[in-house]
Amino acid sequence: MARRRIILALLITIAMGIGGAARAEFTPPPDYTAHYDLRKGPLTLGEAKLSFNRTDDSRYAYRMHTYPVGIASVFYGGEIHELSEGRITKSGFRPDHYVYHRTGDSHAKHAELHFDWSKGRVRNEVGDHPWSMKIPPGTLDRVVSPLQLMHDLSELHGRDSLTYRIADGGKLKTYHISVTGHEDVDTPAGRFDTVEVIRRSADGERVTRLWCAPALHYLAVKVEHSDEDDGTFDLVLTDLDGMSVPKSARRAGRAKPNLGRR
């Protein structure tokens, strides 16, 4: 399903950076809710809502809700609700519990991940096929990964690439992300100076680009996913609640991080 693939591209291709020296305690973004449209050319096929909340000083809850709209709702009736809960640490976000819940069509499914950091394992409770596997420190579930990207982009310290690990489908997946530069991006939510990051699949058939705005704590304001089979889709920020964005921050040349330029 192309609709689900591009929405999840924002999540699955980004996970926690590993390695590097210990960092000072960081300040998470304020609580926010971001709304996105999924588009293919002039058509809007779906919408996504991502919400971040600090449940106390050291814990978070991050939710994602995706659903089809317009003509796409005739063919794809399913809605997906996902939740990541865990601890806020000096190096970012550490998940303890992840929930996937799909309703409304023939692909209904419920699954839960439980992270046991004392044993270095994650357990998935899903129907008749539960699984458990070892995980290294820094492993994420796929939903909290955009939050970790926001943290990592604010702490690049001259790096232009990041390596990520994510527990998904009974496998520990590794992704390599390149930080490629800056670009001004227009969205329904405003015009932003952004940092561009890119991931290419090993076979070169899929390319995902994300544009992340320093003025919004490096929130992704646009995602472009190109696939040889499905074509190109865009996920674009349409509305944002909870973050205060000065008008001047929507102009070019604002808050550029250190990307290792000489």
In three-state secondary structure terms, 72 is helix
pLDDT for residue 248: 55
Q: How confident is the model at residue 177 (pLDDT cuts 50, 70, 90)?
A: confident
User: Rg for the chain (alpha carbons), in Å?
Assistant: 18
Beta-carbon contacts of 25 under 8 Å, excluding residues fewer than 6 positions away, are 90
Residue predicted with more confidence, 186 or 131: 186
Minimal CA–CA distance to 225: which of 240, 239, 213, 211?
211
Which is it for strands 219-227 and 32-40: parallel, antiparallel or unpaired? Answer: unpaired
Residue predicted with more confidence, 254 or 222: 222
Residue predicted with more confidence, 19 or 165: 165
Could you tell me the two tokens for 251?
Answer: 């102009």
Task: Read off the pLDDT of each residue in 210-227 and give the average, rounded to a whole number.
Answer: 91
H/E stretch holding 35 reads strand 32-40
Minimal CA–CA distance to 68: which of 59, 77, 56?
77
Classify burial at 11, counting beta carbons within 10 Å of its beta carbon; exposed 0-12, middle 13-18, buried 19 or more. Answer: buried
pLDDT for residue 75: 52
Phi, psi (degrees; rounded to nearest 5) at 26: -105, 160
Query: Lowest-confidence range among 11-20, 109-118, 165-174?
Result: 11-20
pTM for the structure as a whole = 0.81
Identity of the residue numbered 177: I
pLDDT for residue 117: 97
Per-residue pLDDT of 47-86, as tens digits, reads 999 999 999 889 999 999 988 886 655 456 678 899 999 9
Domains of the chain, with CATH numbers? 2-241 (2.40.360)
Indicate whether 11 pLDDT > 50.
Answer: no
